Structure 1
Amino acid sequence: MSIRFDGQVAIVTGAGGGLGRQHALALAKRGAKVVVNDFGRAAEGQSLTAAEAVVREIEAAGGMAVAHGASVTDEAGVAAMVADTMQRWGRIDILVNNAGILRDKSFAKMDLADFRLVLDVHLMGAVICTHAVWPVMRAQKYGRVVMTTSSSGLYGNFGQSNYGAAKMALVGLMQTLSLEGAKDGIRVNCLAPTAATRMTEGLLPPAVLDRLTPESVTPGLLYLVSQDAPTRAILCAGAGTFERAHVTMTQGVHIGSGPDAAERVAARFDEISDRDGETVPDSGAAQGTNEVGKAMQAG
Structure 2
Amino acid sequence: MAIVTGAGQGIGRAHALAFAADGAKVVVNDYAQDLADQVVDEIRAAGGEAVAQVGDVAEWANGEAMVTAALDNFGRLDILVNNAGFVRDRMLVSLSEDEWDAVVRVHLKGHFVGLRHAAAYWRAEAKAGRTPVARIVNTSSGAGLYGSIGQGNYVAAKAGIAALTVQAAAELGSYGVTVNAIAPAARTQMTLGAGEAMAAQMAPPADGSFDVMDPANVSPLVVWLGSPEAGSVTGRVFEIEGGKISVTDGWQRSVERDKGARWEVAELGPVVEEIVAKAPVPMPVYGAR
TM over 0.5: yes
1:1-21 deviations in whole A, cap 9, x for unaligned?
xxxxxxxx1000000000000
Structure 1 residues 239-250: aligned runs within 5 Å: 239-247=242-250, 248-250=252-254
Change (3 A) 1:205 1:81: closer
What residue number does 2:25 align with?
33
What residue number does 2:274 align with?
271
Contact 1:174 1:190 in 2 (8 A): yes
Contact 1:252 1:271 in 2 (8 A): no
Q: Secondary structure at the match of 2:189?
A: coil
Between 1:236-245 and 1:96-105, the stretch displaced more is 236-245
The structure 1 segments of at least 4 consecutive aligned residues displaced by more than 4 Å after TM superposition are none
Q: Distance in 2 between matches of 1:214 and 1:255?
A: 51
What residue number does 1:62 align with?
47
Of 176, 182, 193, which residue of structure 2 is paired with 1:185?
A: 176
Q: Distance in 2 between matches of 1:194 and 1:119?
A: 20
Q: Shift of residue 168 of structure 1?
A: 0.5
Of 217, 233, 237, which residue of structure 2 is paired with 1:234?
A: 237
Q: Distance in 2 between matches of 1:199 and 1:162?
A: 14
Q: Is 1:18 matched with 2:6?
A: no
Q: Distance in 1 between matches of 2:108 and 2:172?
A: 19
Structure 1 residues 251-270: aligned runs within 5 Å: 251-258=255-262, 261-270=264-273
Q: Shift of residue 263 of structure 1?
A: 3.4
- Across the two proteins, how many residue pairs are aligned to each other? 260
* TM-score, normalised via structure 1 length: 0.83
Q: Shift of residue 205 of structure 1?
A: 4.1
- Amino acid of the residue matched to residue 190 of structure 1? A
Cα root mean square deviation, aligned? 1.6
Q: Is 1:170 matched with 2:161?
A: yes
Contact 1:213 1:239 in 2 (8 A): yes
Q: Distance in 2 between matches of 1:11 and 1:28?
A: 11
Contact 1:255 1:265 in 2 (8 A): no
Contact 1:189 1:234 in 2 (8 A): yes
Q: Shift of residue 176 of structure 1?
A: 1.0
Between 1:121-130 and 1:79-88, the stretch displaced more is 79-88
Contact 1:106 1:159 in 2 (8 A): yes
1:239-269 deviations in whole A, cap 9, x for unaligned?
22111110132041113444x5333332122
* TM-score, normalised via structure 2 length: 0.86
Question: Looking at both structures, which has the greater relative contact order when contacts are Cα pairs under 8 Å and sequence separation is at least 6?
Answer: 2
Report the identity percentage: 37
What residue number does 1:219 align with?
220
List gaps (5 residues or longer) in structure 1: 1-8, 42-48, 277-299
Q: Secondary structure at the match of 2:228?
A: coil
- Amino acid of the residue matched to residue 144 of structure 2? G
Q: Distance in 2 between matches of 1:115 and 1:68?
A: 27
Contact 2:192 2:202 in 1 (8 A): no
Contact 2:181 2:236 in 1 (8 A): yes
List gaps (5 residues or longer) in structure 2: 205-211, 281-289
Q: Distance in 2 between matches of 1:255 and 1:114?
A: 45
Q: Distance in 2 between matches of 1:82 and 1:222?
A: 19
Contact 1:255 1:264 in 2 (8 A): no
Q: Shift of residue 195 of structure 1?
A: 0.6
